[in-house]
Structure 1
């Protein structure tokens, strides 16, 4: 294996890129870790992905020879966008600062990874090998999807909730993420089919059948749209290969037909997208109205959920953490400044397209499903594998012909920063993974009361969740001892928590706590707010019952 790696990648940085990518994309990414859902660093998959990114960026910066780092025009655009959006994160009001700093970290970390990988020469063999590894990750996830779909023995490995008629989701635990990842795999199949000859093409053909099946059974509008747009662009990029590309659609269509037959015989439910489309339109209109109110620097990074609920709760839309469009999200939370930062990223991608050859443009097309996911679902940083997939494919699309170079002092600064970040964040992320597993165990066993009150080092990057579990531990102590002193810190915490993370369960708990402490005026006020924010909540009849103490008129 080492001999093969040495032939493919003669430079140390090239070999490390391929070796680390092999371990992550075809190994560590597919290992399931127990979790209770969520996004960001609440998911072990995202933590493992960041470990890969940090180690890759730091190691490459050391392995590269000491010379001025090259800087392409698209890289300048990405750096400018990241710096503008990070500036907005630093300007965010204190109440949302914790969330904003995590966003800034994701932006700067991704940009640093892009700069580091940009320094690695991607020869024909290295480029093909890297694309193949990413394609292999898509293929492995499709195999996991089919395993879950058929409910084969051992499906409990993923804690797959088959009894709820859940659509399979691979390792991602969210169907649209699985669909966009699979769409990337389909487009990479077409790209590799044109680059590779011989028996490997047979494997790609069978993979297209599998990916067509998975994409059809995901029942994701995002997946369908990504595939349709991507295939049209590939036909435009490779006019002399149109017949080959059209033939490759045959196994893809065969896989989709197999999915339709399997859905019929297995009585799998068909998803109705009409309601969700209507909700998306309502959210978009409200988001644009919020942008008009504060057009310059927006409401603050991390503020969308709270501001949106305040404006739309009475209409029954309930809480929503994002507008299902990352561009709109930056418009609301960052105003025109946020839009300018997003435009820098778009301009960088546009320049990659107009300056690239057909192979580099094809790499951009392969990244298109992630971009479409950003514009139809939630922010890409919430799924780190998708974020890293986008970064690597953008790097594959970047040209080494026209470039500038950083000054040597600036290069040394970036290299040292990358190395220090590796030394600091690798152990921190490992501790975060350990803490995430502890929290998951405590939550499942209802033993949050065992958690230490002070925030451990492993909880720094997931402070909000750790604090949540500590407060739930206070409630557990109260239930066991009936000592009212445990309720006071929970009330203080809940008041701040719902300002950042609107949650009907926490808002309802606030009412119960006020009632338990005989603060009827506060209970009445909180109940009135609950009616406005969550008018469709099933607990409202209970709250409105005249027998509730806070509903009784004072004499």
Structure 2
């Protein structure tokens, strides 16, 4: 669906993802009610404490709860998703299937990206910019696409070493995993995303020892050949798309980044208010005021980057808005997950860490969790995967009243989210129709059903 871009619900695919996600949460609540017991692990308790700590700054007097609501709703929905995943008695095959779904999604996205890069013409129905020609799939942002592909690449490599060597095993499964590097590497290179390049290199280096140890020699050699084929195809694909050799990849190697001055600026803001922060939901306005004030006092101090609503670093974002308290929550969660990885079998730890590298690295250089709900859900699934490898689950029974409430929630959650997201999609459609209608017809705006998501766009 055409949209002006941005992040969160401004991107139409996020609204549709929320609809599907809400049904998953509803099913999970129903399963929890059916079980009549809550299954949890030590990591569940630790992550719950982390979420509570990260939420506390919303009660600071300088916080804007309306502007901060979306990120906190996303945080707690992620926590709920982690909990409901634990309520299902999945076999190892079913748990592994969660990773397979991610790989399949990456394959579909890679095929779509290659189609954008090589075959779409100007004026195509997708609105894809064939001049810039940076394939973004559904994500509308090349770096988000790159980290998604890199995540699929490392998961496919991880799964390849885990596949049994039985003769009855479907060859199509194995060949699909071999195909992932061949499909994704040309796009990762062509996307000219330094985040994607760095994440892929680090993740693959971490997963190589795991592949070498647990895969057969023949399978390891074929995997290396698939990686080499993908890199070779990247040169071919770029030559097809840019016959004159003016592709973005060569330019990106030496391109300077605004982060060189925005990171120090946001760090200065943290130092100025380390305990209270500037208030949840107020980063953009406070950043512009702070940098304008510093630039007025010292002309050599760089002016603020216009319209920057996120410092392109998740740690700095939470620190600027909430001070050191949410950072404490983040580091607590990180320490618990790293300890879970450390508890895994020797030889598998680096590979488990590699699964997180693309998304975690991206979160320190941009804001993928706000651009793409898919990235947040994948991150939670990976947390669940690591936890279930080493955890012993505990059980806590609950009353019939709680069971009834959960049954109600299993209906209310998808109903409320679906209504809200459909109205957001409808409003985007109406506003796009208004913006593209000539002559302008103000009566079209009377059809708007959800001005909350598009408040700035609607007001303008």
- TM-score (normalised: structure 1): 0.71
User: Does residue 70 of structure 1 match 2:39?
Assistant: yes
Q: What is the match of residue 383 of structure 2?
A: 394
**1:252-291 residue pairs with structure 2 within 5 A?**
252-265=227-240, 266=242, 267=244, 268-271=246-249, 272-273=251-252, 277-291=256-270
Q: C-alpha separation between the residues in 1 aligned to 2:266 and 2:354? A: 29
Q: C-alpha separation between the residues in 2 aligned to 1:290 and 1:402? A: 42
One of 53, 64, 74 as aligned partner of 1:106: 74
1:212–1:253 contact (8 Å) kept in structure 2 = no
Q: What is the match of residue 318 of structure 1?
A: 305
How far the C-alpha of 1:121 sits from its partner, in A, is 2.3
One of 275, 284, 306 as aligned partner of 1:296: 275
**1:112-511 residue pairs with structure 2 within 5 A?**
112-152=80-120, 156-162=124-130, 164-196=131-163, 197-200=169-172, 201-237=174-210, 240-241=213-214, 243=217, 244-245=219-220, 247-265=222-240, 266=242, 267=244, 268-271=246-249, 272-273=251-252, 277-313=256-292, 314=295, 315-319=302-306, 320-357=308-345, 362=351, 365-399=354-388, 401-409=391-399, 412=403, 417=409, 419-445=411-437, 447=440, 449-450=442-443, 456=449, 458-460=450-452, 462=453, 465=454, 467-472=455-460
Q: C-alpha separation between the residues in 2 aligned to 1:303 and 1:101? A: 12
Q: C-alpha separation between the residues in 2 aligned to 1:126 and 1:282? A: 46
Q: C-alpha separation between the residues in 2 aligned to 1:222 and 1:206? A: 22
Q: What is the match of residue 26 of structure 1?
A: none
1:90–1:101 contact (8 Å) kept in structure 2 = no
Which stretches in structure 2 are left out of the alignment for 5+ residues?
164-168, 296-301
- Greater helix content: 1
Q: C-alpha separation between the residues in 1 aligned to 2:181 and 2:55? A: 40
How far the C-alpha of 1:238 sits from its partner, in A, is 5.0
How far the C-alpha of 1:225 sits from its partner, in A, is 1.6
How far the C-alpha of 1:42 sits from its partner, in A, is 0.9
Q: C-alpha separation between the residues in 1 aligned to 2:127 and 2:313? A: 30
User: Does residue 84 of structure 1 match 2:60?
Assistant: no
Deviation larger for 100-109 or 336-345 = 336-345
1:373–1:380 contact (8 Å) kept in structure 2 = no
Q: What is the match of residue 299 of structure 2?
A: none
Q: Higher relative contact order by CA 8 Å / sep ≥ 6: 1 or 2?
A: 2
> Would you say how many aligned residue pairs link Structure 1 and Structure 2?
433
SS at match of 1:167: coil
Which stretches in structure 1 are left out of the alignment for 5+ residues?
1-32, 473-555
Q: C-alpha separation between the residues in 2 aligned to 1:387 and 1:448? A: 39
Q: What is the match of residue 11 of structure 1?
A: none
2:154–2:203 contact (8 Å) kept in structure 1 = yes
1:363–1:396 contact (8 Å) kept in structure 2 = no
How far the C-alpha of 1:137 sits from its partner, in A, is 0.5
Change (3 A) 1:363 1:436: farther
How far the C-alpha of 1:88 sits from its partner, in A, is 2.0
2:110–2:184 contact (8 Å) kept in structure 1 = yes
User: Does residue 97 of structure 1 match 2:65?
Assistant: yes
SS at match of 1:70: strand
Change (3 A) 1:445 1:83: farther
Q: C-alpha separation between the residues in 2 aligned to 1:448 and 1:347? A: 56
Once the two structures are superposed, what CA deviation does each residue of 1:14-39 show, in whole Å capped at 9, x if it has no partner? xxxxxxxxxxxxxxxxxxx2222111
1:117–1:395 contact (8 Å) kept in structure 2 = yes
2:7–2:370 contact (8 Å) kept in structure 1 = no
Q: What is the match of residue 498 of structure 1?
A: none
2:212–2:220 contact (8 Å) kept in structure 1 = no
Change (3 A) 1:203 1:104: closer
Deviation larger for 433-442 or 403-412 = 403-412
Q: C-alpha separation between the residues in 2 aligned to 1:359 and 1:121? A: 23
1:69–1:411 contact (8 Å) kept in structure 2 = no
- TM-score (normalised: structure 2): 0.85
2:29–2:409 contact (8 Å) kept in structure 1 = no
Change (3 A) 1:143 1:294: same
Q: What is the match of residue 166 of structure 2?
A: none
